[in-house]
Amino acid sequence: MNNIDFLSLNKLILSCSNILLTTHLNPDGDAIGSILGLYHFLKLANKNSRIVISDPVPQNLKFLDGASEIEIFDDNKNYPWFESLDLILILDLNDVTRLKGLEKFILKSNAKKVVIDHHIEPKEFADFYLIDTEASSTGELIYKIITQDKLHKINKSIAENLYAAILTDSGSFRFPRTDEEVHLIIAELIRNGADPVKIYEEIYNKNSYNKIKLLGKGYSNLELFFNNIFCLMTLKKEDFLTTKTDSSDLENFVESLMAINGVKIGVLIAEIPDANEIKISLRSKGNYSVRDLAVKFNGGGHLNAAGARVINESLESVKKGLMKETQNLFFF
Ligand code: 5GP
Ligand code: MN
């Protein structure tokens, strides 16, 4: 695997002209914030760049400057300008399958491909990798790439987007990788125009009434297992239908289970409406590697935050499998 450092990547970016930015399916705050932060930097540097991703921008991130310029990949469309790309920057993912339909376009492109990410165990498919698994977020890595360049200063659009990326991926500065350096970067972002009150309000306090009703459905059927260490939230298709919600409303559901005293592993299994898919979201504290658990279902992620999607299986059978694998991994 070819690693690249911050300065070399900065130089590589500035030496290219036609740049595609992309990130993972079901993009979160880090995916969107870091991609837009980098996009505004490329604008300052007069690069011809476009953002194409596989799933829509979540509602609560649409306020971010540049969000309306993000293009959603459409399998039925042609992308002739893909031919003229000289650089593809792939953010916040290290497994090419998380690009969905974009995967085949990216793999066959002649452009240089660079992965910028903080997840563990990257898969080999790109030309260069800038990976720091100790980083709080991809947003933090983008900050370090951008600030190698003394010519282009961080403007308000960059600052706001990177602030949003770090805020969301650090769990509002609570998760273990929130260190002194993260706060120093945050200070710089505030100095350059990021407004912490406004950004928090937009991202976390604009929940729809329906979403909170769905969360209520989840809370009403919580279960504890394995000596009350393991908390499970289950959502059925009908829960989405009766509350008029969809999978994009699940953001932060599983996190809330970690606020229960004694719970070390929080799991959400949800039967996604309009798809033959069960979404599994996993969170943990300490050394319980939910990534190892996710891998059993062909998913992945981090030690304390992971997920998977299971196709063509019933909720009951996914739940059974999950119990069995959890028992084998952690409580044998
Ligand atoms: P979430 O529960 O928020 O959907 O996902 C948490 C983390 O788990 C993500 O940041 C990502 O790293 C990982 N993850 C979620 N779903 C999948 C998946 O289907 N495949 C892989 N490889 N990782 C996933
Ligand atoms: Mn991230």
Query: Residue 153: is its pLDDT beyond 90?
Result: no
Segment 269-282 mean pLDDT: 95
**Residue 295 pLDDT:** 97
User: pLDDT band at 113, cuts 50/70/90?
Assistant: very high
Give the chain's mean pLDDT: 96
N-terminal to C-terminal alpha carbon distance within the chain? 36
Query: Of 7, 84, 24, 77, which is closest to residue 49 (Cα–Cα)?
Result: 84
Query: Residue 302: is its pLDDT beyond 90?
Result: no
Question: How many angstroms does the Cα of residue 227 sit away from the middle of ligand 2?
Answer: 31
Query: Residue 310: is its pLDDT beyond 90?
Result: yes
Question: How many angstroms does the Cα of residue 13 sit away from the middle of ligand 1?
Answer: 28
pTM (predicted TM-score): 0.86
Query: Residue 332: is its pLDDT beyond 90?
Result: no
Fold of 6-204: inorganic pyrophosphatase (n-terminal core) (3.90.1640)
Ligand 1 pocket check for 236: Cβ under 6 Å:
no
Kind and range of the H or E element at 279? strand 277-284
Ligand 1 pocket check for 62: Cβ under 6 Å:
no
Question: Which atom of ligand 1 lies closest to the CA of 280?
Answer: 2
Question: How many angstroms does the Cα of residue 15 sit away from the middle of ligand 2?
Answer: 26
**Residue 181 pLDDT:** 97
Ligand 1 pocket check for 307: Cβ under 6 Å:
yes
**Residue 267 pLDDT:** 98
CATH class of residue range 209-330:
alpha beta
Closest C-alpha to ligand 1, atom 2: 281
**Residue 94 pLDDT:** 86
**Residue 82 pLDDT:** 93
Ligand 1 pocket check for 266: Cβ under 6 Å:
no
Segment 132-145 mean pLDDT: 97
What is the distance between the alpha carbons of residues 87 and 98, in angstroms, rounded to a whole number? 19
User: 200-238: per-residue pLDDT in tens?
Assistant: 999 999 999 999 999 999 999 999 999 999 999 999 999
User: pLDDT band at 188, cuts 50/70/90?
Assistant: very high
Segment 52-76 mean pLDDT: 96
Ligand 1 pocket check for 119: Cβ under 6 Å:
yes
Which ligand has the shortest distance to the CA of 282?
A: 1
Ligand 1 pocket check for 277: Cβ under 6 Å:
no
Query: Of 296, 284, 305, which is closest to residue 323 (Cα–Cα)?
Result: 296
Residue 299 to residues 71, 195, 237, 270, 309, Cα–Cα distance (Å) = 26, 35, 21, 15, 7
Label the pairing between strands 87-91 and 71-72: unpaired
**Residue 7 pLDDT:** 97
Torsion angle of C-alpha atoms 280, 286, 291, 293, degrees rounded to 10: -70
Domain ranges of the chain: 6-204, 209-330
Contact 230, 267 (CB under 8 A): yes
Cβ neighbour number for residue 123 with a 10 Å cutoff:
14
Closest C-alpha to ligand 1, atom 19: 308
**How remote is the C-alpha of 320 from its chain's centroid?**
27
Ligand 1 pocket check for 94: Cβ under 6 Å:
no
User: 29-48: per-residue pLDDT in tens?
Assistant: 999 999 999 999 999 999 99
Q: Which two tokens stand for residue 162?
A: 């990177």
Question: How many angstroms does the Cα of residue 304 sit away from the middle of ligand 1?
Answer: 11
Higher pLDDT, 264 or 176: 264
Cβ neighbour number for residue 120 with a 10 Å cutoff:
14
**Residue 150 pLDDT:** 84
Query: Of 116, 137, 143, which is closest to residue 127 (Cα–Cα)?
Result: 116
Query: Residue 151: is its pLDDT beyond 90?
Result: no
**Residue 289 pLDDT:** 97
What is the distance between the alpha carbons of residues 285 and 14, in angstroms, rounded to a whole number? 40
Query: Residue 28: is its pLDDT beyond 90?
Result: yes
Segment 287-305 mean pLDDT: 95
Q: Is the alpha carbon torsion for 117, 120, 126, 127 positive or negative?
A: positive
Question: How many angstroms does the Cα of residue 120 sit away from the middle of ligand 1?
Answer: 12
Which ligand has the shortest distance to the CA of 26?
A: 1
What is the distance between the alpha carbons of residues 189 and 159, in angstroms, rounded to a whole number? 5
